[in-house]
Structure 1
Amino acid sequence: MMRPLLLVLLLVLAGCASAPPKAPPPPAFAAATLQAQALAAGHASLTGKAKRDNNEAIEQLLAQLDDATLARDAAKLPAGDPLYTFAGRVLLRRGLPLPHPFERGGTSFGQANRPAADNDGYRPPLKVAVLLPLSGNQAAVADAVRDGYLAGYYGESRRRPSLRFYDTAAGVKAALARAATDGNDAAVGPLGRDEVDAVFADEPPLPLLALNRGTHAPAAGSAAFSLSPEDEGISLAQALIERGSQHVLLIAGNEDSQRRTRDAAKAQLERRGVKVIASLGYSAQMSDALAQLAQTHAPDAVLLVLKGPQARSAIPQLALANLLQLPRYASSQITSGTGKPADDMALDGTIFPTEPWLIRNVQGLPSQASVASQVDTAKGPAARLFAFGVDAWRLTAYLEHLAQQPNASIRGATGQLSLDGFGNVLRRPAWSRFSGGIAVPLADGAR
Structure 2
Amino acid sequence: LGDRRPKIRIYDSAPGALAAYQRAIADGAQYVVGPLIKEEIQQILAAPVESTAADGATANQNAVPMLALNLLSDSPIDARAPGNAPLYQFALDPAEEAEQVAARLISDGKHHGMALVPNNDWGQRVQRAFEARLVELGGNVVATRAYDPAAKDFSDPIRSALLIDESRARANALSGSLGTRLEFEPRARADVEFVFIAAQPNAGRLLRPALRFHLVEDLPVYSTSQIFEPDSVGNMELEGVLFPDMPLVIAPDDVATQLRNTLTRYWPGRVRTNARLFAFGFDAYRLIPVLQGQHSQVSSSTTPGMTGLLSVDGNGRVRRLLEWARVVGGQARPIVSTASESQAKN
Candidates 249, 253, 266, aligned match of 1:358: 249
Alpha-carbon distance in 2 for matches of 1:352, 1:176: 37
Matches for 1:273-422 after TM superposition, within 5 Å: 273-282=138-147, 284-286=154-156, 287-292=158-163, 295-296=188-189, 298-336=191-229, 339-340=232-233, 344-362=235-253, 364-376=255-267, 379-401=271-293, 404=297, 406-422=299-315
- What SS does the aligned partner of 1:166 have? coil
**AA in 2 matched with 1:209:** L
CA contact (8 A) 2:199 2:227 kept: yes
Q: String of CA shifts for 1:221-261, please: whole Å, max 9, x gaps.
A: 22111102222222222222322322121112245433322
- What SS does the aligned partner of 1:423 have? coil
Candidates 53, 60, 68, aligned match of 1:210: 68
Q: String of CA shifts for 1:176-221, please: whole Å, max 9, x gaps.
A: 2222221111111111111122233467642101111113644152
Distance 1:272 1:191, change over 3 A: same
How far is 1:365 from its partner? 4.5
Residue 179 of structure 1 corresponds to which residue in structure 2? 24
Alpha-carbon distance in 2 for matches of 1:309, 1:366: 27
TM-score w.r.t. the length of structure 1 is: 0.59
Candidates 14, 25, 28, aligned match of 1:169: 14
Residue 134 of structure 1 corresponds to which residue in structure 2? none
CA contact (8 A) 2:143 2:161 kept: no
Distance 1:395 1:443, change over 3 A: same
How far is 1:338 from its partner? 7.0
Distance 1:413 1:279, change over 3 A: same
CA contact (8 A) 1:402 1:408 kept: no
Distance 1:209 1:333, change over 3 A: same
Q: String of CA shifts for 1:336-356, please: whole Å, max 9, x gaps.
A: 49721xx54332211111110
Distance 1:380 1:256, change over 3 A: farther
Residue 244 of structure 1 corresponds to which residue in structure 2? 109
Of structures 1 and 2, the larger Rg is shown by 1
Higher RCO (C-alpha under 8 Å, 6+ residues apart): 1
* Bigger shift: residues 281-290 or 173-182: 281-290
Distance 1:365 1:323, change over 3 A: closer
- What SS does the aligned partner of 1:164 have? coil
| Identity level (%) | 31
* Bigger shift: residues 258-267 or 205-214: 258-267
Q: Alpha carbon RMSD of aligned pairs, Å?
A: 2.8
CA contact (8 A) 2:113 2:192 kept: yes
How far is 1:406 from its partner? 4.2
Alpha-carbon distance in 1 for matches of 2:293, 2:4: 16
Alpha-carbon distance in 1 for matches of 2:264, 2:313: 36
TM-score w.r.t. the length of structure 2 is: 0.74
Matches for 1:37-186 after TM superposition, within 5 Å: 158-186=3-31
How far is 1:390 from its partner? 0.2
CA contact (8 A) 1:309 1:337 kept: no
Alpha-carbon distance in 2 for matches of 1:217, 1:257: 25
CA contact (8 A) 1:371 1:378 kept: no
Q: String of CA shifts for 1:362-396, please: whole Å, max 9, x gaps.
A: 35445354123212275122111000000001111
Residue 168 of structure 2 corresponds to which residue in structure 1? none
Alpha-carbon distance in 2 for matches of 1:359, 1:353: 9
Q: Which residues of structure 2 form unaligned runs of 5+?
A: 50-60, 148-152, 165-186, 342-346
Distance 1:405 1:268, change over 3 A: closer
Alpha-carbon distance in 2 for matches of 1:299, 1:191: 39
**AA in 1 matched with 2:28:** G
Alpha-carbon distance in 2 for matches of 1:163, 1:296: 57
- What SS does the aligned partner of 2:8 have? strand
* Bigger shift: residues 428-437 or 233-242: 233-242
Distance 1:255 1:402, change over 3 A: farther
Alpha-carbon distance in 2 for matches of 1:291, 1:166: 52
**AA in 1 matched with 2:204:** A
Matched residue count:
290
**AA in 1 matched with 2:128:** D
Residue 112 of structure 1 corresponds to which residue in structure 2? none
Q: String of CA shifts for 1:32-53, please: whole Å, max 9, x gaps.
A: xxxxxxxxxxxxxxxxxxxxxx
